[in-house]
Amino acid sequence: MSEENLHPHISKQFDQQLEDLRNRVLVMGGMVEEQVGNAIQALLENDVTLAEQVIANDYNVNSMEVEIDEECTQVIARRQPAARDLRLVLAVIKTIADLERIGDEARRIARQALDLSAHYPKKNQLSELEQLARHVKTMLHDALDVFARMDVEHALRVVEQDEQVDKEYESILRQQITYMMEDARSIPVALDIMWSARALERIGDRSCNICEYVIYYVKGKDVRHISLEQLEKKVRE
C-alpha cells in the first residue's frame, strides 16, 4: 500500500498483514470480475457451457470471502486497530461482502443464460442489454482500480456513472414490456432479459458501494445514502 494511504507501524508484521489483506481483496476482485465477464459472454453468445462454468465457480468466490473475513477478524482481535487502520479493515470487510454479492449476480445472469438457451432472443432484443453490460463491466473494473489506488477522485467519477446505468436499465424494462404487450409469446424471453438487466444494475450499485468504502477509508467520512452533490462536497472538503 502506498505511503500516503498507510503510515508505517513499529510492527512490520502488522504492515504486512494490512498489505496482504488489501492484496487478497484485489485477487478476489479479479476473480469476481472474470465471473461477471464470463456470465455476460454466456448470455450474449448463448454459451451454455460457459454459463454452467460460472455457476460452478461461484463456490470459489464464496470461499474466498469467508477466508478474508476470518483474517480481518484475527487482525481486529490481535491488533486492536484504531482510527485509519480500523477503517481499512472495515472497508475490506464491506468490500468483500459486496464482491461476494456481485458474484451472486454473475451466477444469476448465468442462470438466465441457461433459461434463454432454449428460446434464444433476436439480436436486436439484446442490443440494449449488451450496452448496459459493457457499462457495468467498466464500472466494476474502475471500482477495483479505485480500491487498488485508494483514489477518491476516481471513486467519485465511478459513482457519477450510476445515474446513467439506472437510465439504461429503465430503458430495457420499457423495451421488454413493449415486446410483451405486442406478442404474448415473447413474455418468457422478455422476463429473462429483464432479470438479467436487474442483475447488471445491481452490479453497478455494488461497484459504487466499493468506491464509497474507499472514500470512507481515505477521508474518514461515511458517504452512504447521500446525494451526489453532497458526496462531491464531502470528497473535496
Write the DSSP assignment of 146-194 as a string of letters.
HHHHT-HHHHHHHHHTHHHHHHHHHHHHHHHHHHHHH-GGGHHHHHHHH
Three cell numbers, residue 167: 437510465
Domain spans of the chain? 12-235
At a CB cut-off of 8 Å and minimum separation 6, what does 13 contact? none
Cell of 49: 457451457
Least Cα distance to 139 among 177, 111, 170, 98 occurs for 98
pLDDT of 215 reads 95
State the Cα–Cα distance between residues 46 and 118, nearest whole angstrom. 9
pLDDT of the residue at 2 = 43
Q: What is the grid cell recorded at 103?
A: 458474484
Tell me the pLDDT tens digit for each residue of 66-88: 999 999 999 999 888 888 999 99
| Contact partners, residue 87, CB within 8 Å, separation at least 6 | 216, 217, 220
What is the pLDDT, as a whole number, of residue 13? 83
Which residues in the chain show pLDDT less than 50? 1-5
What pLDDT, on a 0 to 100 scale, did the predictor assign at position 8?
A: 57
CA-based nearest residue to 172, from 211, 141, 135, 139: 135
CATH class assigned to 12-235: mainly alpha
d(CA 121, CA 133): 16
Q: Which residue, among 144, 140, 184, 146, has the nearest Cα to 162 in the 3D structure?
A: 140
Q: What is the pLDDT of residue 5?
A: 47
From CA 110, how far away is CA 116, in angstroms rounded? 10
How many CA atoms does the CB half-sphere of 219 hold within 13 Å? 21
